[in-house]
Amino acid sequence: MRLILGGKLTGFHPDAKRGAVEVKLAGPTRIDTLLGELGIPVKEARVLMLNHKKAFLDSLVKPGDRLGIFPPELAFNLYVALELAHNDEESKGEG
C-alpha cells in the first residue's frame, strides 16, 4: 500500500519526508493496528483518508490501497473540518 503522512507524522517513517512511501501489508489490516505498528499515537491521527475517502480507526487497509494520515494541526480545510465534526459527533455517541 501507499502511505502519506502529514506534518510531524513524517517523523514516524524514515522515507515519509519526501512524499508517499510503500508499506508492505500481509493482508487486510485495521488502521489502528497499522498506527500501532508505525508508532503513531491514535490522538495524532486526526484525519484519515483511505483511497481519497474518509476512513475510521477500524477501517481495513488492503494491499494496493492508498492511506493519508494527518495530525490535528493540519486539519483545517472545509472538507476535513467537516470530517472532524462528523468524527466528534461519533465519538460523543460512543462516549
Partner 1 sequence: MKDRIIRVNMKTLTVSEEEVPEKYAAYGGRAITSAIISDEVPPLAIPLGPENKLIFAPGILGGTASANSGRLSVGAKSPLTGGIKEANAGGQAAQVMARLGIRALIVEDKPEDTTKMYTLEVGSESAKLVESSELKGLGNYDTVDKLVAKYGDKNTALVTIGMAGEMGLLAASIACTDRELRPTRHAGRGGLGAVMGSKGLKAIYFDDEGTKTREPKDKEAFKAAARKFAAALLEHPVTGEGLPTYGTNVLQNVINEAGGLPTKNFREGSYEGASKISGEVQHDVILERGGKVAHGCHSGCVIRCSRDYHDKDGHFITKGPEYETIWSHGSNCLIDDLDAIAVMDRMDDDIGLDTIEMGATIGVAMEAGICDFGDADGAIKLLAEVRDGTPLGRILGSGAKVTGQCFGVDHVPEVKGQALPAYDPRSIQGIGVTYATSTMGGDHTAGYAIATNILKVGGFVDPLKPEGQVELSRNLQIATAALDAAGLCIFVAFAVLDKPEAFEAIYEMINAMYGLNLGPDDVTALGKDILKIERKYNEAAGFTNADDRLPRWMYTEPLPPHNTVFSVTDAELDEFYNFMD
Residues within the interface to partner 1 (CB under 8 A): 4, 6-8, 10, 17-20, 47, 49, 51-53, 66, 68, 70-82, 85-86, 89
**Which CA distances in Å does 75 have to 3, 15, 26, 62, 90?**
17, 22, 30, 25, 17
Residue 87 corresponds to which cell in the numbers above?
Answer: 468524527
Closer to partner 1 by CB, 7 or 26: give it: 7
Closer to partner 1 by CB, 33 or 77: give it: 77
Closer to partner 1 by CB, 42 or 81: give it: 81
CB of 64 to partner 1, least distance (A): 14
CB of 55 to partner 1, least distance (A): 10
CB of 42 to partner 1, least distance (A): 16
